[in-house]
Amino acid sequence: MPPHNTPSPEDSSPAPGLDILSLTPADARVALAEWLKARGEPAYRTGQILGRLWQRPVGSWDQATELPTALRRDLAQAFPLMRLEEATRQLSSDGTEKVLWTLADGESIESVLIPEGTRRTLCVSSQVGCALGCVFCATGRMGFGRDLTASEIAAQVRELVLRDPALKPTNVVFMGMGEPLLNWDAVDAALTILNDPDGLGIGARHITVSTVGILPALAKLAARREQFGLAVSLHAPVSALRRTLMPIEKKYRLAAVLEALAAFKRRVTFEYVLLGDLNDRPEDADELARVAAPLGALVNLLPLHPGGAPGLTPSAPAAMRAFLRRLRGHGTSAVLRRSRGLDIAAACGQLRVERQPRLKVRSQEHAHVE
């Protein structure tokens, strides 16, 4: 059963230690109201407590001093607040900040905060490691540990707000460690927590999910009414080349992914890491433009982050600019992003790889791409 399901009506109190931060705000409201009613507490306490989960978060119930002492003590027993422990924080000269978080079981994940003008974009992780093994990704080199809970995903935002409310991200992108759509139940709940006015209240158009194209969950994301953004890790415009870079191509073929995207009612972004002499040739640009055209997709061209993928060569700056010009010459909307955090090992998973040993793949379901 997913962790964000509402307790059954006949269960008037939650199980001891319920992870309330993994519930959607609506489900959390129900759980709190039932628990408070069973205690004989006034109904207005529900709103008071709910506001302390995400809108005006507290690190522990002791900090909610507007509540009676006995109620705070019992809340700590019934609804302990899950926290992430900051293991390492690095600040780049360009303002990019990377945090390595330690989870309750000792595993580690990363978040990256990227300021740009009035925007503060937080890149969040959805899994400990990743089993997909994309050759250009540092996370793929560490293997797969486990899925994150909805609370562990949303806490990457919550912890920043606890540190300083001014750090609250304006934008959230699921582009950190892991494949979000292989952890759909938790990501589904986390999307609601991030977006809901009773949650963290970040606009749906400011939240983007990045995926290699996991078709069953992609259809579920498309069915949601909110206008969440979608970015597809493409990295090659044809199946044969993509298969050499991304083993998932063996299971979810490019043609099937593109067909699924045609049913998506929002503009799609293609993420495309430029690799020297692999996918940066003129003919690759021509084919990429052909693939993007029916969807009206935006192409994000990304330099290979130094250190993120040993053995691969970044495209030369001149080659990247030529690739961009050729795409635009075909009428394709495209931008060439600049690398951020070059001085702090900000490639996805790079800090975790440097600090801790490789994970063992624990889930054959996630690992199997044949």
What is the sign of the dihedral through the CA atoms of 212, 213, 219 and 225?
positive
Catalytic residue among 110, 152, 179, 271: 110
Q: How many CA atoms lie within 13 A of 343 on its CB side?
A: 6
CA distances (Å), origin 109, targets 97, 104, 278, 296, 350:
14, 11, 30, 34, 11
348 classed as catalytic = yes
Are 231 and 269 contacting, i.e. CB atoms less than 8 angstroms apart?
yes
97 classed as catalytic = no
Say what the alpha-carbon torsion angle 340, 342, 346, 351 is, to the nearest 10 degrees: -170
Catalytic residue among 123, 134, 137, 348: 348
Hey, which residues are catalytic here?
110, 348
